Structures are given as structure tokens and as C-alpha cells.
């Protein structure tokens, strides 16, 4: 039954989707144009002139396969750490009292509000002391436990009725069991959201990785891309046009894994409102 | 908003749960932050030993019109971004939850996350160009005069704010959808049986129960806006006349110019500001009736 | 968040304060005061070095040049890394970990990292008289040479040959800035919509651009002792002229390569662009309808018979003090900048640049022979021999220009006020006086 409400609803969503997709579509299409044309004639798409040149040149400029490999290593390990530590810590904050809890939570809150820029040099010095500059631990451990993750998990877990947990305790269930069988299933949508956002954040992160690693064996995709972005915006050396083209090509390639992962994960992310509830 | 304090368990359990987080956090979160705090009381520029200068950095910032100007700029951007984002993201989340093709639509929402900022900024620069941009073209077609989107003080902040909105609303939608899903469907069922319209359901059920998540989104939005440096940097470098020099960009300039002591002091002042603003907004949002 | 949260927060900050004690003391490495000297002569060059260059086409060009070096010294291994040097170098030097042996870096930023670099005064001494004076000035900080000068970016006047012809303007007749202004008016007479002279709208680039005009007069924002010289004759002269361009309606205010700029370059609204040599990038890569119609000539002079060029931008190679193998890095850079084979490989024709690298010229004077071009005439500039124009211009740049350590930060004050002047919102006096006062207070005294 096509009602006005339905048209309005899907019209709205289509508008939102179009608006969100527009820059991405521009980027992907522009990747097939010469870089100079991207700057000078950004909305002219001559379909006869499209070519793979930028992709080829990008392949010669940055080892994108290695970048992808490095990114995946970091995403998987760091993401796993986040998804392991944050729910547990959030649970502790939400449902328990313990010594220094307030202090600790205050500290977490402070790191959440602290601009990460200011930590670049202190962290780099610390990595230097540990001998971790230009290694994977330097990419994985700082920021592995995001204050945001803990904050979000605490928020979500706090809404679980205490009665549920107490009842399980009365039944004699161990704490770990309670966590696994009661807390985790209930917070599944929130945890999935955290997973997706964490994945995207780690994948896109470049501010710290640029500073932390030096050679291509350790550079993540975003680090390589940021090098191209620098060449694209600095006008003095005459390679801005070619850098733009290669940047767009590289970004197009880099966007693929994220989109794939997201499409795969959205099933968990948007578990529909339970059957029988408000439907279109 | 207080949760029931029935869990008065004093045992080793919480320590076990928090241990992995704590170890990593202490080593790579607290330690560098401590050093940054130390730096804020020095005038270190990256070479030589640390020279303690006391509160000099803080005094300089608190009496600097540039610092307060950057805060004001961020404040205005905040007003343009956060309330709008909450409304738009909530609308999208609610509509999306009740529609088909959720996956396809939410995949579209993710697009801004995978588009590199320089590419998006370039699209903005081209579209909002005063003389040749598409936006002014459309304005001209309906008889309105062209607007200096990125070249006038009046319009530069809104244009930057729009880019920020574009890039970050998807994030808010993801969070809100997760929050909305925690509302038991039975509540909606009951309301429907009572004859409540969709709009009424939204106001009396969805909004109050989602308020916690909304508050969360507001807090995250606040700290995003105040830490923002990439968008204004790429779009305008703070121009015209430093009107888009946000708090984050002002800080970014300190750090990249190796004014590390000043940058550290700047950061901690920002922490205070962001905290105060977040607290104020959350208080404002606190639901009046009990839930 | 409740009242409790506030207390919690304060405790959190307290905890961070407690962590103060844990915070490491910064490595207090003072740069070695001794100048770097050549390694023991006679020994065959051997060893491994890490060299950082900017990602992009230039990396490929330098890669070829490095290859020509390692071909002569087979026992040398070079780890050539493509990185975002601007973002990485300062923090790497500060942390002192994994420091490269050499890196490519913007001249404007070199003074900022000078304390972390090797003193190359002794090593560059034999070449001192053959380096363009302005470049040597820029590479010298606190009396020490801290960078190997690479490229010279001479200022030139780019003009639309067809537009000038159509208006009856003879390019050869533009020898002073007053004549340039007159030429602009003549063009405007022919085409009332024309606003021929480019005025830069980007805060940072405009400051760099003004410094081109100032360096043409041997001036700078600070003198050798670091004393602020912004409120001085060279700047006053330049700003007064720019204000006239704006006031007389013969200027187009646009940001370099943004849509307004490109469109007005194409349609002839802009036809006189005083800019560094690297403007040649526009007709080659960005412009379509006006491709082939742009030519270059030396800048007009500020006083009759005065220098016909200044410097705008430029980069050099730096050797960090903590480099593991600085002498080997020096040997490489010496080859690349001061030997014919080296600079020919960089600037000459190659697979990346079939016509050669034509957005700058070497700063090594013996390389600047107008009769021995390193790069080919440029088709996109109507077949002009840009090499000849650029080398002659480059050789005429006077010394005296230098870049103070706070130059980048000054954009916030001078760059911003400059834009106000170009928008007609501030007069020359106020720009100079207020900027100077702000720079003195915030950037010099506060340090």
C-alpha cells in the first residue's frame, strides 16, 4: 500500500543517501580522469577520455598492496583489543564499585576530551624509549583502548537491569559466565556499532600512524595516502596534478575494503526492530 | 540519570574485568598525558632540556584574543553542527529503523567515512566557489545574488560547519540506531493499540527513551567540534581573516610550529571548556519526567 | 553526567597530575656544535643511509638521481623512503628515534628545525661562492649553513601574449612596476571586464608571494640578528603598489589554482601574473583554452635598473644531527646538487618528466648556463625556452633575504592583515604597524 507517508519516508532516505554518496561518486569517477582535469574541470566527465592511468601510476608510486596488508594487521589486532577490553571495562564501571573507580573514570573522561594532537610528541618519545618506533606495536597499542569505547560500553551496559544480573548470581552463575551469557547478548547492537565505528576509525586513522612509522613495510594505507595528499596540495613542485589523480585512485581502492566490511557487518548492526513492531 | 546502586559488590571481580583495559590505558594513555601536562608548564620547542616556566603558557592563552577568538569560532561552529546533527541524525535513524532496505541506505551513510577529507574538501571548494560554484549557480537560477561562501566572514563558518555535518552525521546515526534498538518493541505495540499516531509515538516514547543516547551523541559531537582541525585547515586554513580558525586549528598551529609547551597548555584548557560545555548540554537535555 | 561526574573529573585531572611524576624528561640533546667534516678521504664510499623524500613524482626523479650515485659507488646502499616529510620530520627529530640520514624539506620550515641539523658550513665552503646568494642566505641559520640548497624558484612575470598583443602592450616595455600598472590599464581600456593583475587570496601563499617582491629588493621580514624588519621600505613599497592595483580596479583576487583563478586565467580576465617559476605548472597541466598563450619574462624592477627577480618558495636537503651516517648523506647530496651528472639527472628529461623538470632551476650557479638548458622548451607556453628566462632571472636575485624561525606563524598576523589590505579593509600603514606589533609581541618576545 503506497501511502503519502511511505513516499515521504523513502524520498527522505533517498535524498540522504544521494547527499552522502555524492562526494564518493565524484571521487570514484574523477579517479579515471587526468589529475589536471580534476582540478581544472571537476564536473566535466568526458566518458571517452576515462582511463586507468591514475591507477597504474598509483601502483608505481605507492605499494598499495603492502599498505593494505599493514592496515589489515593493525585493524584486526587493534580492533580485537578494543572489542575485548572496552566491554569488560565498561561492565566494571557500570555495574561495580571498586577502589579508585571515580578517579579512573575521571581520567578516562579527561583523555576523551583531550585533543589527541597534543599526545603525538609524548607518545613518540615513549615509543622511542621502548624502541618501538616504526614497528607494529607502535601502531597497535597506543589508542587500542579508546576512551570512547569504554564510555559507550558503560553507557549501554548501565541500562541492563540489575535484577537480571543479580538473579543469575543467585542461581550460582560465575561472573565471567554472567558477562558472556547475559551482558554480551543484550549489548549486541551497541557492541556491533562499536565494532563498526572502531574499524572505521582505525582504518582511517592517519595522524598518529604518519608520525609513528617510517618505511613502507609498516606504513598503513592512510599513511601512504597522506603522502600523496601532501603532494596534491603543495603547489610548488609541479606534481600536484599527477598526485591528485593518484590520490583519487588510491582512495578509491582504499574505500573498497571498508565498504565490503560494512555491508557484511550491517546485518548485525541494524538488526531490525523486533518482528511485529512498527513497520512502514 | 543515576543507575541503581544495588551492586555493592566489593570483590576482586571488577579488577579482573578492568585489568586489560587498565594496563594499556595506563601505559599509553595516562603516561603520555602526564608528560603533556608537564610540558604545559614549560616553554619547550622540541630541543634542549625542559625549562619550567610555571603558569606562563596558561596566562598567555587566557589573555590572548587569538585564543578566545578561536574558542568563539568553535562555539559558533558547535551551535551550527551539534543541534542540527542531533535532529537530522535522529530523524534519519528513526525513519531508517522503520523502513526496508536498511542495509543499502546505511551503507550510503558510511560513504563520507571512506571519502578522504582532501577529496571532500575539494568538492566543497569547487561547489561553493563564489564565481563559478554550483551552489551560487543554483542561487542565480532562482534570482538570488551569489554568496561568498568561503570568502566572507559571515558565511565561511557555516560552510565549514556544513562539511563537518556531512562527514560526521553518519557516525551519529550509527550510535543512535544502536540506542533506538534498546527500546523494547512492546512499548510501541502498546502505544499503537492505544491509538497513538507515529508522531505521538516518537515524542512520547522514542525521544525520552533515546535521550541517553542523544546525550551521548551530543557529548561526542561537542568534543569532535572542539578538536576539529582538519576540516578548517583543508578548506580555508582559518581564512578569511582567521574567522574559521577553530580551537582545534589554533592548537594545530601550535603543535606544528613546535610550540609544544603552549600547545599542551592549550589542550588542557580545551579539556576544561569541552567538559563544561558537555555538562551544560547534557543537563539541558535531561528528560523532565521520570522514565 | 551528574554532579558526581564533576568531582570524578577533577580527580581524573589530579590523577593525570600524579602521572606528571611518571612523565619522562625530554631527551635534552643539544646539537653537536662542531661542523660536519668530510669522512677520511681516499676511502671508497661504503655504507647504508636512509633518505626521506616527498611522495609523488619528485620521489621518482630523485630515485633516478640516487641510482646515478650508487652506480658510481656500488658499496653504498640507499633506503629511499617516500614519506610526508612535512608532517614527519619535526616530530622524528624531536624524538630522535629512527632519524633519516637526509631529508628533503621546505626552505620556509628549515629554520624551525635548525637546532636538530648538522652544521654543514665546512662542507659547503668550497661551493659557497657558486650558490645563489639568496639561497645561501635562506640555508644559513645563526651563522651556520644547515641545509644543502637545492632549487631556486625565481619570480617571473607570466603574461598572456595574445591579450597583450590585442591591447597593443609590448612586454619588453614593462621594466618597472609602474609600467606594469600602466600596461594593466591599457589592457583594461581594450577590455573593460579585464582585471589583469593577479592578487593572491590564500593567506599563506600571499605572504610567500609578497616576500618574492621584497626579496627582489634585498629585504626580508627579519635581519641577520633576528630583529623584526617588517615595517620597512621594501614591504612598504610592495604593499603600496598592491593597494594601488586593488584600488585602481586592475587586480583579480583569487586563490592559486582554485576555480575562480583558473577560469579568469582562461578567459583573459587575468593576463599578468607575477609568480614563481612554478606557475608554469598551470598552462602545462590545468589550462585548456589558454594553453600555449602564456609566456614568461623577468619581473619588472622596483627601481629602474634594479634586480628583475626575487625568490618564492624553494626546498633544500637537510642532514639531521642524529643521522647515523651523515657523511655518506652529504656525499649523496653533493653529487645531486653540485655535480653536472647529478643535477642533470634531476632536471633533465626522464620517464616521469619527458621534457625535464621545469618548475624550478638549480640554485648552483654553474648549472645556470642559459646556453645549456637542462629542461626543454615548453610547448604549453608556446614553445618558450623557459630555461633561458628562468636562469637569467635567477642569477639576478640579490642576496639579503632570509626566513626567520617564526615566519610560518607570522601568517596569522601579517598574512591575515595582508588579505584585509587586498580586500580594501585595511591601509598599508595599519597592516605594517599592527602586524609588526603583533609579531613582536606574540612571536618574538613571548619565546
- Confidence band, pLDDT 50/70/90 cuts, at residue A192: confident
Place of cell 580586500: C423
Min Cα–Cα distance to chain C from B16, Å: 21
Q: What is the pLDDT of residue B185?
A: 76
Q: What is the percent of chain A with per-residue pLDDT over 70, rounded to a whole number?
A: 94
Q: Cβ neighbours of residue C254 under 8 Å, at least 6 residues apart?
A: C198, C199, C200, C201, C260, C261, C264, C270
Out of A22-26, B207-211, C51-55, C256-260, pick the least confident.
B207-211
Residue-range domains of chain A with CATH: 27-39+48-269 (1.10.3720.10)
C228 and C243 fall within a common domain: yes
DSSP H stretches of helix in C216-289: 233-247, 259-266, 281
C74 and C137 fall within a common domain: yes
C58 and C165 fall within a common domain: no
Distance CA A141, CA B169 (A): 28
Q: What is the pLDDT of residue A59?
A: 92
C204 and C144 fall within a common domain: no
Distance CA B13, CA B176 (A): 31
Contacts of A224 in chain C (CB under 8 A): 55
The answer to whether B245 and B233 have CB atoms below 8 angstroms apart is: no
User: Residues 353..412 of C with a Cβ closer than 8 Å to A: which?
Assistant: 357-360
C131 and C241 fall within a common domain: no
Q: A155-192 burial string, b = 16+ CB within 10 Å, else e?
A: bbbbbbeeeebeebeeeebebeebbeebbeebbbbbbb
Residue B145 lies in a domain: yes
Q: For chain C, say whether A109 makes contact (Cβ under 8 Å).
A: yes
Q: What is the pLDDT of residue C337?
A: 96
Contacts of A230 in chain C (CB under 8 A): 54-56, 84, 86-87
Distance CA A228, CA A243 (A): 6
Helix (H) / strand (E) element for C54: namely: strand C47-54
Asked whether the beta carbons of residue A121 and residue C257 sit closer than 8 angstroms, the reply is no
Q: For chain A, say whether B106 makes contact (Cβ under 8 Å).
A: yes
Residue-wise pLDDT for C49-65, tens only, equals 999 999 999 999 999 99
Residue C93 lies in a domain: yes
Q: What is the pLDDT of residue A277?
A: 31
C162 and C299 fall within a common domain: yes
Q: For chain C, say whether A49 makes contact (Cβ under 8 Å).
A: no
Q: For chain C, say whether B54 makes contact (Cβ under 8 Å).
A: no
Residue C19 lies in a domain: no
Residue C95's Cα: distance from chain center in Å?
Answer: 26
Q: How many CB pairs under 8 A join A and C?
A: 177
Q: Identify the CA nearest to C402 among candidates C49, C74, C53, C139.
A: C139
Min Cα–Cα distance to chain B from A219, Å: 17
C275 and C195 fall within a common domain: yes
Asked whether the beta carbons of residue A238 and residue C27 sit closer than 8 angstroms, the reply is no
Residue-wise pLDDT for C303-355, tens only, equals 999 999 999 999 999 999 999 999 999 999 999 999 999 999 999 999 899 99
Q: C116-142 burial string, b = 16+ CB within 10 Å, else e?
A: bbbbbeebbeebeeebbbbbbbbbbbe
Count up the domains in chain B and report the number. 1
Q: Identify the CA nearest to B105 among candidates A269, C121, C149.
A: A269
Q: Beta-carbon neighbour count of residue A145 at 10 Å?
A: 28
Residue-wise pLDDT for C139-153, tens only, equals 999 889 999 999 999
Residue-wise pLDDT for A258-277, tens only, equals 888 877 777 666 654 332 23
Residue B211 lies in a domain: yes
Q: Which of C15, C60, C286 sits opposite A107 (nearest CB)?
A: C15
Residue A29 has pLDDT above 70, yes or no: yes
Q: What is the percent of chain A with per-residue pLDDT over 90, rounded to a whole number?
A: 56
The radius of gyration computed from the CA coordinates of chain A, to the nearest angstrom, equals 23
Averaged confidence pLDDT in chain A: 88
C179 and C262 fall within a common domain: yes
Residue B138 lies in a domain: yes
Q: Is the dihedral of CA A28, A29, A32, A34 positive or negative?
A: negative
Q: What is the pLDDT of residue C4?
A: 46
0.80 exceeded by the pTM? yes
Grid cell at residue B179: 540506542
Residue C22 has pLDDT above 50, yes or no: no
Distance CA C371, CA C34 (A): 40
- Confidence band, pLDDT 50/70/90 cuts, at residue C180: very high
User: Residues 48..67 of C with a Cβ closer than 8 Å to B: which?
Assistant: none
Domain at C277, CATH number: 3.40.190.10
Q: What angle do CA B252, B255, B261 make, to 5 degrees?
A: 130
Q: What is the pLDDT of residue A269?
A: 64
Contacts of C24 in chain A (CB under 8 A): 125-126, 129
Q: Enumerate neighbours of B (3 or more CB pairs within 8 A).
A: A, C
Residue C4 lies in a domain: no
Averaged confidence pLDDT in chain C: 91
Residue-wise pLDDT for B87-111, tens only, equals 999 999 988 888 888 778 888 888 8
Grid cell at residue C8: 570524578
Q: Which of A110, A226, A241 sits opposite C84 (nearest CB)?
A: A226
Q: What is the pLDDT of residue C10?
A: 55
Asked whether the beta carbons of residue B3 and residue A158 sit closer than 8 angstroms, the reply is yes
A185 to chain B: nearest residue by CA? B182
For chain B, the maximum distance between any two Cα atoms, rounded to a whole number of angstroms, is: 74
Q: Identify the CA nearest to B33 among candidates A125, C106, C382.
A: A125
Residue B108 lies in a domain: yes
Residue B1 lies in a domain: no
Which phi and psi angles does C174 have, rounded to 5°?
Answer: -90, 90
**Bigger pLDDT: A88 vs B180:** A88
Structural domain of B160? 65-285
Residue B50 lies in a domain: no
Q: What is the pLDDT of residue C33?
A: 63
Residue A247 has pLDDT above 80, yes or no: yes
Min Cα–Cα distance to chain C from A278, Å: 32
Count up the domains in chain C and report the number. 2
Residue C16 has pLDDT above 80, yes or no: no
Asked whether the beta carbons of residue C257 and residue A226 sit closer than 8 angstroms, the reply is no
Asked whether the beta carbons of residue C8 and residue A106 sit closer than 8 angstroms, the reply is yes
Q: What is the pLDDT of residue A259?
A: 84
Asked whether the beta carbons of residue A241 and residue C313 sit closer than 8 angstroms, the reply is no
Q: To the nearest 10°, report the CA torsion of A102, A105, A106, A112.
A: -170
Q: What is the pLDDT of residue C192?
A: 95
Q: What is the mean pLDDT of residues B123-129?
A: 91
User: Residues 69..98 of C with a Cβ closer than 8 Å to A: which?
Assistant: 79, 81-84, 86-88, 91-92, 94-98
- Confidence band, pLDDT 50/70/90 cuts, at residue C1: very low
Out of A35-49, B198-212, C426-440, pick the least confident.
B198-212
Residue-wise pLDDT for A199-218, tens only, equals 989 999 999 999 999 999 99
* Partners of C361 in the β-ladder: C152
Using DSSP's 3-state secondary structure scheme, residue C199 falls into strand
The answer to whether C19 and B33 have CB atoms below 8 angstroms apart is: yes
Asked whether the beta carbons of residue A133 and residue C98 sit closer than 8 angstroms, the reply is yes
Residue C40 lies in a domain: no
Distance CA C411, CA C421 (A): 14
C198 and C168 fall within a common domain: yes
Q: What is the pLDDT of residue A113?
A: 92
Q: For chain B, say whether C172 makes contact (Cβ under 8 Å).
A: no
Q: For chain C, say whether B37 makes contact (Cβ under 8 Å).
A: yes
C248 and C166 fall within a common domain: yes
Out of A49-53, B18-22, B185-189, C190-194, pick the least confident.
B185-189
Q: What is the percent of chain C with per-residue pLDDT over 70, rounded to a whole number?
A: 91
Q: Is the dihedral of CA A184, A189, A194, A195 positive or negative?
A: positive
C205 and C333 fall within a common domain: no
Q: What is the pLDDT of residue A280?
A: 32
Distance CA B288, CA B276 (A): 21
Q: Which of A107, A223, A242 sits opposite C16 (nearest CB)?
A: A107
Averaged confidence pLDDT in chain B: 88
Structural domain of C134? 47-149+315-359
**Bigger pLDDT: C41 vs C114:** C114
Q: What is the pLDDT of residue B18?
A: 92
C201 and C274 fall within a common domain: yes
Asked whether the beta carbons of residue B125 and residue C258 sit closer than 8 angstroms, the reply is yes
C85 to chain A: nearest residue by CA? A227
Distance CA C321, CA C94 (A): 11
Domain at B229, CATH number: 1.10.3720.10
Residue C393 lies in a domain: no
Asked whether the beta carbons of residue B8 and residue A86 sit closer than 8 angstroms, the reply is no
Q: For chain A, say whether B74 makes contact (Cβ under 8 Å).
A: no
Asked whether the beta carbons of residue C359 and residue A237 sit closer than 8 angstroms, the reply is yes
Asked whether the beta carbons of residue A235 and residue C95 sit closer than 8 angstroms, the reply is no
Tell me how far apart the terminal alpha carbons of chain C are, to the nearest angstrom. 40
Residue-wise pLDDT for C363-415, tens only, equals 999 999 999 999 999 999 999 999 999 999 999 999 999 999 899 999 999 99
- Half-sphere exposure for A75 (CA within 13 Å, toward CB): 24
Report, in this order, helix, strand and coil percent for chain A, each rounded to 5. 75, 0, 25
Contacts of C54 in chain A (CB under 8 A): 227, 230-231, 234, 237
Amino acid at each position: 500500500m503506497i501511502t503519502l507517508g511511505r513516499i515521504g519516508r523513502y524520498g527522505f532516505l533517498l535524498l540522504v543517501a544521494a547527499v552522502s554518496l555524492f562526494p564518493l561518486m565524484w571521487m570514484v569517477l574523477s579517479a579515471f580522469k587526468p589529475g589536471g582535469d580534476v582540478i581544472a574541470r571537476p564536473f566535466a566527465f568526458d566518458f571517452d577520455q576515462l582511463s586507468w592511468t591514475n591507477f597504474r601510476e598509483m601502483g608505481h608510486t605507492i605499494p598499495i598492496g603492502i599498505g593494505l596488508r599493514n592496515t589489515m594487521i593493525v585493524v584486526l589486532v587493534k580492533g580485537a583489543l578494543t572489542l575485548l577490553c572496552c566491554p569488560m571495562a565498561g561492565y566494571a564501571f557500570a555495574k561495580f564499585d571498586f577502589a579508585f573507580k571515580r578517579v579512573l573514570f575521571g581520567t578516562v573522561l579527561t583523555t576523551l576530551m583531550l585533543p589527541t594532537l597534543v599526545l603525538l610528541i609524548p607518545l613518540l618519545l615513549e615509543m622511542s624509549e621502548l624502541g618501538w618506533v616504526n614497528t607494529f606495536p607502535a601502531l597497535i597499542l597506543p589508542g587500542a583502548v579508546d576512551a570512547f569505547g569504554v564510555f559507550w560500553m558503560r553507557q549501554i551496559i548501565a541500562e541492563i537491569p540489575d535484577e537480571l544480573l543479580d538473579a543469575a548470581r543467585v542461581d550460582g552463575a560465575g561472573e565471567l559466565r554472567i558477562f558472556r551469557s547475559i551482558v554480551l547478548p543484550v549489548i549486541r547492537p551497541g557492541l556491533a556499532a562499536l565494532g563498526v565505528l572502531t574499524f572505521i576509525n582505525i582504518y582511517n586513522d592517519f595522524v598518529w600512524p604518519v608520525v609513528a612509522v617510517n618505511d613502507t613495510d609498516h606504513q598503513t594505507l592512510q599513511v601512504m595516502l597522506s603522502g600523496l595528499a601532501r603532494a596534491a596540495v603543495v603547489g610548488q613542485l609541479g606534481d600536484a596534478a599527477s598526485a591528485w589523480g593518484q590520490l583519487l585512485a588510491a582512495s578509491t581502492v582504499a574505500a573498497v575494503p571498508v565498504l565490503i566490511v560494512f555491508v557484511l557487518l550491517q546485518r548485525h548492526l541494524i538488526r531490525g526492530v523486533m518482528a511485529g513492531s512498527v513497520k512502514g | 540519570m543515576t543507575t541503581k546502586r544495588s551492586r555493592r559488590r566489593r570483590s576482586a571481580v571488577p579488577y579482573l574485568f578492568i585489568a586489560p583495559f587498565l594496563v594499556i590505558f595506563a601505559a599509553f594513555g595516562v603516561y603520555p598525558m602526564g608528560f603533556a601536562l608537564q610540558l604545559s608548564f614549560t616553554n619547550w620547542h622540541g630541543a634542549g632540556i625542559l625549562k619550567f616556566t610555571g603558569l606562563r603558557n596558561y596566562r598567555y592563552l587566557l589573555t590572548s584574543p587569538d585564543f578566545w577568538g578561536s574558542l568563539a569560532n568553535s562555539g559558533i561552529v558547535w551551535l551550527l553542527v551539534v543541534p542540527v546533527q542531533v535532529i537530522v541524525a535522529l530523524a534519519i535513524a528513526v525513519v531508517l529503523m522503520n523502513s526496508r532496505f536498511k542495509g543499502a541506505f546505511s551503507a550510503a551513510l558510511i560513504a563520507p567515512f571512506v571519502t578522504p577529507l582532501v577529496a571532500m574538501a575539494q568538492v566543497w571548494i569547487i561547489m561553493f566557489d563564489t564565481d563559478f560554484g554550483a551552489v551560487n549557480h543554483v542561487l542565480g537560477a532562482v534570482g538570488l545574488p551569489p554568496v561568498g561562501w568561503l570568502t566572507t566572514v559571515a558565511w565561511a563558518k557555516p560552510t565549514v560547519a556544513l562539511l563537518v555535518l556531512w562527514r560526521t552525521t553518519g557516525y551519529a546515526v550509527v550510535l543512535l540506531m544502536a540506542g533506538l534498538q534498546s527500546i523494547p518493541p512492546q512499548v510501541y505495540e502498546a502505544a499503537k493499540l492505544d491509538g497513538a499516531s507515529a508522531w505521538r509515538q516518537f515524542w512520547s516514547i522514542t525521544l525520552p527513551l533515546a535521550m541517553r543516547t542523544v546525550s551521548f551523541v551530543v557529548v561526542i559531537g561537542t568534543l569532535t567540534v572542539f578538536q576539529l582541525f582538519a576540516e578548517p585547515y583543508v578548506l580555508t586554513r582559518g581564512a578569511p581573516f582567521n574567522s574559521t580558525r577553530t580551537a582545534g586549528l589554533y592548537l594545530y598551529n601550535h603543535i606544528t610550529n613546535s610550540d609544544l609547551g603552549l600547545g599542551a597548555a592549550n589542550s588542557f584548557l580545551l579539556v576544561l571548556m569541552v567538559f563544561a560545555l558537555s555538562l551544560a548540554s547534557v543537563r539541558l537535555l535531561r528528560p523532565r519526567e521520570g522514565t | 553526567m551528574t554532579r558526581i561526574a564533576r568531582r570524578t573529573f577533577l580527580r581524573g585531572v589530579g590523577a593525570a597530575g600524579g602521572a606528571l611524576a611518571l612523565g619522562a624528561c625530554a631527551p635534552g640533546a643539544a646539537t653537536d656544535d662542531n661542523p660536519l667534516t668530510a669522512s677520511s678521504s681516499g676511502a671508497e664510499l661504503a655504507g647504508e643511509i636512509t633518505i626521506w623524500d616527498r611522495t609523488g613524482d619528485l620521489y621518482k626523479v630523485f630515485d633516478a638521481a640516487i641510482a646515478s650515485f650508487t652506480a658510481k659507488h656500488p658499496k653504498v646502499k640507499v633506503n629511499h623512503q617516500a614519506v610526508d616529510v612535512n608532517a614527519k620530520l619535526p616530530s622524528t627529530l624531536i624524538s630522535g628515534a629512527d632519524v633519516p640520514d637526509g631529508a628533503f624539506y621546505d626552505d620556509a620550515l628549515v629554520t624551525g628545525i635548525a637546532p636538530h641539523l648538522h652544521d654543514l658550513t665546512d662542507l659547503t665552503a668550497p661551493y659557497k661562492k657558486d650558490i645563489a646568494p639568496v639561497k645561501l642566505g635562506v640555508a644559513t641559520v645563526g651563522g651556520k649553513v644547515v641545509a644543502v640548497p637545492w632549487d631556486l624558484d625565481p619570480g617571473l612575470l607570466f603574461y598572456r601574449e595574445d591579450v597583450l598583443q590585442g591591447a597593443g602592450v609590448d612586454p619588453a616595455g614593462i621594466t618597472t612596476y609602474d609600467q606594469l600598472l600602466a600596461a594593466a590599464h591599457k589592457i583594461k581600456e581594450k577590455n573593460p571586464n579585464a582585471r589583469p593583475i593577479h592578487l593572491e587570496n590564500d593567506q599563506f601563499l600571499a605572504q610567500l608571494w609578497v616576500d618574492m617582491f621584497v626579496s627582489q629588493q634585498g629585504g626580508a621580514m627579519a635581519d641577520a640578528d633576528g630583529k623584526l624588519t617588517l615595517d620597512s621600505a621594501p614591504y612598504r613599497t610592495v604593499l603600496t603598489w598592491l593597494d594601488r592595483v586593488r584600488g585602481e580596479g586592475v587586480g583579480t583576487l583569487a586563490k592559486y589554482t582554485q576555480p575562480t583563478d583558473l577560469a579568469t586565467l582562461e578567459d583573459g580576465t587575468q593576463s599578468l601574473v607575477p609568480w614563481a617559476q612554478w606557475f608554469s605548472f598551470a598552462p602545462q597541466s590545468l589550462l585548456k583554452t589558454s594553453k600555449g598563450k602564456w609566456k614568461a619574462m623577468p619581473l619588472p624592477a622596483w627601481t629602474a635598473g634594479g634586480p628583475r627577480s626575487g625568490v618564492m618558495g624553494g626546498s633544500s636537503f637537510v642532514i639531521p644531527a642524529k643521522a647515523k651516517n651523515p657523511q655518506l648523506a652529504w656525499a649523496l647530496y653533493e653529487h645531486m646538487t653540485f655535480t653536472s651528472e647529478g643535477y642533470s639527472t634531476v632536471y633533465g628529461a626522464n620517464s616521469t618528466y619527458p621534457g625535464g623538470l621545469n618548475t624550478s632551476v638549480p640554485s648552483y650557479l654553474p648549472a645556470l648556463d642559459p646556453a645549456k638548458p637542462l629542461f626543454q622548451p615548453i610547448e604549453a607556453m608556446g614553445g618558450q625556452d623557459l630555461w633561458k628566462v628562468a636562469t637569467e632571472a635567477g642569477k639576478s636575485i640579490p642576496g639579503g633575504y632570509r626566513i626567520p624561525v617564526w615566519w610560518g606563524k607570522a601568517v596569522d598576523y601579517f598574512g591575515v592583515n595582508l588579505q584585509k589590505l587586498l580586500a580594501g579593509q585595511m591601509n598599508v600603514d595599519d597592516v605594517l604597524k599592527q602586524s609588526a606589533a603583533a609579531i613582536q609581541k606574540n612571536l618574538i618576545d613571548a619565546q
